Copies of this chain bind each other. A is one copy, B any other.
Amino acid sequence: MTMEGSTAPRRTRIQQEKRELILEAALEVFSVNGFRGSTIDQIAEAAGMSKPNLLYYFRRKEDIHETLMERLLETWLAPLRELDDIGDPMTELRSYIRRKLEMARDFPRESRLFANEIIQGAPRIMPLLEGELKTLVDEKAAVIRGWMRSGKIAKTDPYHLIFSIWATTQHYADFDVQVRAVLGSDRGGEGRFEDAARFLENLFIQGLLPKRD
């Protein structure tokens, strides 16, 4: 029998390694095909093990996805959590945009996994959206609104500001193939993230400059 700790089950070295291997493979598969479109066999093959062996570590397909989503949400919200009330508003927002774009560049599969879940109506993480996510956004929207009131940045809707930052940055992960196809081979290389960073910084900074009145 497997021993159980107070919160998480105790695992052997092999269990930890193999579970990581499976999650890595599952991320690859789920992020492309979505939950329904992915099969255990695909994941098992990507992880280099047999299906029954995979099912020894995760008893159901849903368990893999659930574990993946739990981890994802923390990583995904980290940049917004860092948005600091104390710092300079413009600097804070600029580095938030930068961090978000870096995540799109460095963790595109995570971004696509999240996008897949949302597009499908968020059947598995709806409570988290209405709970943890909404709370965090409400909190940060209040911070931004404070900046607006004190005249540090232009007055707009802080919620839609956050949405537009999410949308523009995640676009470079979720719609990567389209971006590359349109930019072509010459401009579609790694430099595209530099160009995007420059453009977005400019767009949002101009859009948020306080108006002298």
Q: Which residues of A contact B (CB under 8 A)?
A: 32-38, 112, 115-116, 118-122, 126, 129-130, 133-134, 137, 154, 156-157, 159-161, 163-164, 166-168, 170-172, 174-175, 177-179, 181-184, 187, 195-196, 198-200, 202-204, 206-209
B32 and A177: CB pair below 8 A? no
Least Cβ–Cβ distance between A178 and chain B, in angstroms: 5
B36 and A184: CB pair below 8 A? no
How many copies make up the complex? 2
What residue in chain B is nearest A179 (Cβ atoms)? B163
B164 and A168: CB pair below 8 A? yes
A164 and B171: CB pair below 8 A? yes
A sample of 15 more A-B contacts (CB under 8 A), given A129-B182, A133-B182, is A33-B34, A33-B36, A34-B36, A112-B119, A115-B174, A116-B119, A119-B174, A121-B177, A122-B177, A126-B181, A157-B195, A163-B171, A163-B172, A167-B167, A167-B168
Least Cβ–Cβ distance between A173 and chain B, in angstroms: 9
What residue in chain B is nearest A128 (Cβ atoms)? B181
A115 and B126: CB pair below 8 A? no
How far does the alpha carbon of A115 sit from the alpha carbon of B182 in the complex, in Å? 16
B122 and A178: CB pair below 8 A? yes
What residue in chain B is nearest A166 (Cβ atoms)? B171
How far does the alpha carbon of A175 sit from the alpha carbon of B162 in the complex, in Å? 13
B181 and A134: CB pair below 8 A? yes
Least Cβ–Cβ distance between A120 and chain B, in angstroms: 6
A199 and B161: CB pair below 8 A? yes
How far does the alpha carbon of A121 sit from the alpha carbon of B38 in the complex, in Å? 15
Least Cβ–Cβ distance between A128 and chain B, in angstroms: 9
